[in-house]
Structure 1
Amino acid sequence: MRFDQARLDALRAAVDAGTFEGAARELSVTPSAISQRIRSLETETGRVLVQRSKPVRPTASGEVLLRLARQVDALGRDADAALGRERAPGDGDGDDGDAALPRLEPLSLAVNADSLATWLLPALQPLAGDIAFEMQRADESRTTELLRQGAVMAAITTDPAPVQGCSSVALGAMRYRPMASPEFVDRWLSSGGARRGGTGAQRLEGLTAAPVVVFDRSDDLQYRYLRFRGVEASSPPCHFVPSSADFVEAVRRGFGWGMVPELQVRDDDSLVALDPSHRVDVLLHWQQWQLHTAALARTAEAVRVAASRALRR
């Protein structure tokens, strides 16, 4: 089945904008035209493709065609670049005589917060003059869902099994350790028992009541450590801090203990390890669409090289 490009564009624009009105503004047509094109696509496929809510959301069938629409759009932009058809903002207006400016190729990524806060931005910095990155932050266990929905072209994820239509490459592991400020350990963990060699019973007693810093409600690292130590995960109070840098800062300021990435606290003596022998290695993978564009290929190579230097093998 061959799909009409204008209909695919209407589907993509409606999901991106969240409304038919926003899609109409992007494509310079009426909201009625957007609605008619999507309905025609639904008639053509025999499937409901979007939930007509605010924001507009794709159905499972709509996700398949949304992914196709984004892939066709990406390939078209890549062909334009190869042919030297770079357009300046406002191209076609004829209202100024300025030479055409280079156009950055858009590329959407789903990334986990800790990679974003440590090694990923330096990896992508050399490409920022050519590629306009749209980064959607999500837990590393959930980024593949954005790939599956067609919302992004690539993702850093813990899932090694490739999403349909994607490839998967192992990047390495981010290492986490349970850490806290010395003052927090002194106050909560049995008079400093964890830091100064207190007994296992003392440390266990302290962990039952000591506050925990958690990134968000999908962050399971702290709870996994508590279960490993035989502590009921629901016992201690939690502070939720949904920012990677602020998470570490909250641990430094004594809000609670937390599983901190080694990459964020190297040569940092403001934190101490609660359990020096305990570590958690979170294996990361790079998944991307199985299509070739220059922007996607360059990004994948930059991520692979940076990960080989920053992550554990």
Structure 2
Amino acid sequence: MDFAQLATFQAVIESGSFDAAARELHVTPSAVSQRIKALERSVGQVLVRRTKPCVATPAGEALVRFAGQVALLEREAIGQARGGTRVSIVVNADSLHTWFLPALLAVPGPQYELHTDDEYFTADLLRSGTAMAAVTADDAPVQGCRIERLGAMRYLAVGRPEDQAMVRYNRKDHLQHRLMPDKSDTSEHFVPSASAFIEAVRIGLGWGLVPDWIARDDIAAGLYQDLNPGRHLDVPLYWQYWRIGSEVLEELTAAVKAAAAPYLRS
């Protein structure tokens, strides 16, 4: 038996009309009518009297009880399973290193599986189905996903004037070239860890782009200087997540937006 049809039948009987059931289920009245007709064909009986209000026929009364039992079991199963829910998320390295993790602490219960990639590539894991949600610089909604703007992460080009090498996260990382194109032909070091990247710039391995709230503290401490005073690079970040009506994803979305607010620029 089709559970969508069964749930629609229950909604019609409880609400008293096809139109009210459609509003409750967020579908069209035509879709409600088609589901009820399909359910009636599958059992070979008329189940709903099309009166005002709609009521179940004698054949439909047994299904009313069954539909209520199924709905109860579903709610109980979801409640028991939520603690074992696995949520897969892809996050750019700088967000993961700085502001993102407290969002997970705010939504306890699920088992989190985190992936990391360059912010311009994280949405690829949404498209492939590997991740349910992503922090991404891609502002084009992935099919089947909702998108929320988080703000912009601001970067400063920092280092010592004598630094000749450029520090990059990996070969996908081209932020340095965008802010300092005149120094893009220097030698390069690749450091694929956000914390190690920042430390590499601090000890003088080379110059690189560092989030501004970290860079300003380090500049004040005399660890390096701003190599391009008055200029910065803002990278807009978005939260994209599956549009499936998941309570966990909705709670996580609110937590991610709250965690990002103190660090990202509006």
- Relative to the length of structure 1, the TM-score reads 0.58
Question: Is the 8 Å Cα contact of residues 171 and 286 (structure 1) preserved in structure 2?
Answer: yes
CA contact (8 A) 1:178 1:258 kept: yes
SS at match of 1:133: strand
1:266 Cα offset (Å): 4.5
What's the offset of the Cα at 1:135?
0.7
**Separation of aligned partners in 1, 2:210 and 2:115:** 22
1:121 to 79, 101, 108: 101
Per the alignment, residue 177 of structure 1 pairs with 156
Deviations 1:231-266 (A, max 9, x none): 4x3x21101000001000000010000011123334
2:89 aligned residue: 109
Deviation at 1:225, TM superposition (A): 2.4
In structure 1, the residue matched to 2:12 is: none
Partner AA of 2:254 in structure 1? E
- Contact 2:136-2:238 at 8 Å conserved across structures: yes
Map 1:66-215 onto structure 2 (within 5 A).
Answer: 82-83=76-77, 86=80, 103-127=83-107, 129-180=108-159, 184-185=160-161, 187-188=162-163, 210-215=164-169
**What residue in structure 2 maps to residue 250 of structure 1?**
200
Alignment correspondent of 1:221: 175
Q: In 2, Cα distance between the equivalents of 1:85 and 1:307?
A: 29
Q: Does 1:264 align with 2:217?
A: no
Other structure's SS at 2:262 match: helix
Do the aligned residues in 1 keep the contact of 2:119 with 2:137 (CA within 8 Å)? yes
State, as a whole percentage, how many aligned pairs show the same letter. Answer: 41
Out of 233, 236, 239, the residue aligned to residue 283 of structure 1 is 236
Return the alpha-carbon distance in structure 1 between the equivalents of residues 133 and 139 of structure 2. 13
Q: Give 1:121 shift.
A: 0.7
Q: Kindly state the Cα deviation for residue 294 of structure 1 after the two structures are TM-superposed.
A: 1.6
2:38 is matched with none
Q: TM-score normalized by structure 2?
A: 0.67
Give the CA RMSD over aligned residues: 2.0
Q: What amino acid is aligned across from residue 250 of structure 2 in structure 1?
A: A
**1:29 maps to what in 2?**
none
AA matched with 2:119: E
List gaps (5 residues or longer) in structure 1. Answer: 3-78, 88-101, 189-209
- Aligned amino acid, residue 203 of structure 2: R
The CA distance in 2 between the partners of 1:271 and 1:255, in whole Å, is: 11
Q: Is the 8 A contact 1:140 1:158 kept in 2?
A: yes
1:299 pairs with one of 244, 252, 256: 252
8 Å CA contact 2:145, 2:240 repeated in 1: yes
Listed as ranges, the gaps of 5+ residues in structure 2 are 3-72
Amino acid at match of 1:103: G
Kept after mapping to 1: 8 A contact 2:85/2:111: yes
Aligned partners of 1:153, 1:222: CA distance in 2, in Å? 30
8 Å CA contact 2:158, 2:210 repeated in 1: yes
